Amino acid sequence: MTNPPQATPNSPPGANEPPASSLELLYQIGQEVTADLDLRTLLHRVLFLSMKNVGAVSGSIIVLDENGQPGEEAFLMHGMAQSNTALQLRVTYESGMAGWVARHRQSVIVPDTSRDERWLRRPDDADDRTGAKSAVSVPVLAGERLVGVITLVHPTPYFFNESHCHLAEAIAEWAGIAILRAQLVDHLQTATQRYRQLFEDNIDPILVTDWQGSIQESNRQAQLMIGLSPQDLHSLKISALHTPDLEKLGPGYQNVCSSETQVYESTLNAYTGRSIPVQVHVRCIHYNNEYHLQWILHDITERKDLDRLREDLIAMVYHDLRSPLANIGSSLEMISALLEPEIDQNVQSLIQIAARSTERIQRLTESLLDLNRLEAGQLTGKRLPVNLCDLLEDAIQTVALMAREKKIGISLETPAQLLPVWVDPDMIRRVLINLIENGVKYSHPEGKIRIQVSEQEGMLLTSLLDDGPGIPAADQERIFEKFTRLRGKEGPRGLGLGLAFCRLAVTSHGGRIWVESAAGQGANFKFTLPLSPPVPGPDAH
């Protein structure tokens, strides 16, 4: 505790005697300030008790936030609550006595405020008004943390002495923890209120369930979209509204943890009779002292409609490209046949280039059409018993020129006797061309591609091994997804659709496709096809 240099050491006659700081008094104060109070009431109570017991006429308490900045305050004068603006509070704190006490964490007795530079003058401090006063200012601490500053004022100079100051310090000590606790409760209540508001006003339907999936809370948008009152909704299970994706969520929703949100698409079966496509976000939240599940059902109707429109449009374009492409192909064939055999070789090779390019565009459009069809769950075309060797030779022939340009050798090893596979030959031919073309595209010049065919448990296994850069283990699944390209713009050009088509085509035949690759040892694409005819079903061709 320090006294200002200009303070007169002796109290003038007439100053009040300090009140007895008995244990009983402190106990009583302790009881009062630790009761379950909100922050504002607590501050007024602390200030009132301090003023009453120290004999002050006015006083203030400034509370600091977690950044050490003045946040809340209480200000009493003659028992009446006064208020400061945020600016006044900041100025008082930054340039007044409270700031000094906070910065030095030291109590101060100011015998005469008119003679202490740290005392911030207010209009009522003017000589013709209340003039000189005395004050005591003490830090409020909760352990090591500075929680605020209490300043008590008496209109008579030299009113306060050390005993007053000790008593104020003792009250501040009790108050510190209580204020900190009230501040935390206040923050918690504000956060809860904010969550409640966000929850209620959210434009997405939000439901909160227990771990059995019973709905416990619902926001306005959920009630509106589902078409049920809160009471009716709260008697339902979440599974009555949509089918939860248990592969994602795990049995008993055990995969849902607070740090990660599980997302999947589903259909909300509203009680209005509508089926609404939704993207479901499931997260674990702590609410009402227990862990619950929060379900956000984001309406994706518009996106789905747009997707469908885009797909239909693309399918239409691919479809309409077919016949002009076929016309170009057959015209080129006719021109080539009509040309005199001794005609300029350059013209012949130009016609061949045009024919090959047309074939490539035809294959691409067919594959894109198939991709759409297969994704929509439609079956393959007519399945016939086919000799895979013939398809492989045909495919090798198709990419031969490209391979020759890069000086890549392609070898084919097949068993002498090969059983036929039951496939849509055009589709599987395109799968083979895709895989061999990739081998050529991604291999180094003068590399090798080795194709082997063998029988395995009723299936025909084809493996295409190249000696290119290979595919890292982490990408071996993802390359079969649409638009996945590993080397981006640096590598050879492509759309990232070839392998997606291959996977859909092979799996629609009841086979499997995958890649095996060790670092730097090339890629080994493998796929199986059934040797037995497909079981005729209602949709079989």
Report the residue count for the chain. Answer: 541
- As a whole number of angstroms, the distance between CA 250 and CA 501 comes to 30
Smallest gap, in angstroms, from Cβ of residue 213 to ligand ADP? 39
Q: How far is the CB of 216 from ligand ADP (least distance, A)?
A: 46
Q: How far is the CB of 332 from ligand ADP (least distance, A)?
A: 25
| Chain residue whose CB lies nearest ligand ADP | 494
In the complex, minimum distance from the CB of residue 412 to ligand ADP, in angstroms, rounded to a whole number:
17
Decide if 86 contacts 101 (C-beta within 8 A). Answer: no
Q: Does residue 141 sit in helix, strand or coil?
A: strand
Which C-beta is closer to ligand ADP: that of 423 or that of 499?
499
Dist. CA 167–CA 177, nearest whole Å? 17
The token pair that represents 415 in the structure block: 């068993």
Residue 434: CB minimum distance to ligand ADP, A: 6
Residue 454: C-alpha distances to residues 76, 237, 530 (Å):
94, 52, 12
Smallest gap from residue 400 Cβ to ligand ADP (A): 17
How far is C-alpha 109 from the geometric centre of its chain's CA atoms? 55
Which residue lies nearer to ligand ADP by CB, 139 or 439? 439
CB of 313 to ligand ADP, least distance (A): 22
E strand residue ranges, 123-222: 134-142, 145-154, 206-209, 215-218
Quote the least distance from Cβ 352 to ligand ADP, whole Å: 24
Q: Which is nearer to ligand ADP, 241 or 513 (CB)?
A: 513
Nearer to ligand ADP, 91 or 486 (CB): 486
Cβ closest to ligand ADP, residue 122 vs residue 487: 487
Write down the least CB distance from residue 491 to ligand ADP, Å. Answer: 6
Tell me 91's DSSP state: H
CA distance 221 to 237: 18
Sequence-ordered strand ranges (E) for 1-133: 58-64, 70-77, 80-82, 108-110
Name which of 37 and 500 has its Cβ closer to ligand ADP.
500
Considering beta carbons, is residue 234 or 482 the nearer one to ligand ADP?
A: 482
Our CB check for ligand ADP shows the closer of 80 and 483 to be 483
Name the token pair of 494.
């492509």
Interface contacts to ligand ADP, rule CB under 6 A: 438-439, 442, 466, 468-469, 471, 479, 484-487, 491, 494-500, 523
- Which CB atom, from 343 or from 495, has the smaller least distance to ligand ADP? 495
Give me the torsion for CA of 105, 74, 86, 150, rounded to 10°. -10
Q: Alpha-carbon Rg of the chain, whole angstroms? A: 42
What span, in angstroms and rounded, lies between the C-alpha atoms of 37 and 140? 18
DSSP 61: E
What's phi and psi for 119, nearest 5 deg? Answer: -80, 120
Q: How far is the CB of 432 from ligand ADP (least distance, A)?
A: 13
Residue among 21, 74, 20, 71 nearest 48 (CA):
74
Between 345-375 and 301-338, two packed helices, what is the crossing angle to 10 degrees? Answer: 150
CB-side neighbour CA atoms (13 Å) of 112: 12
**For ligand ADP, the closer CB: 51 or 364:** 364
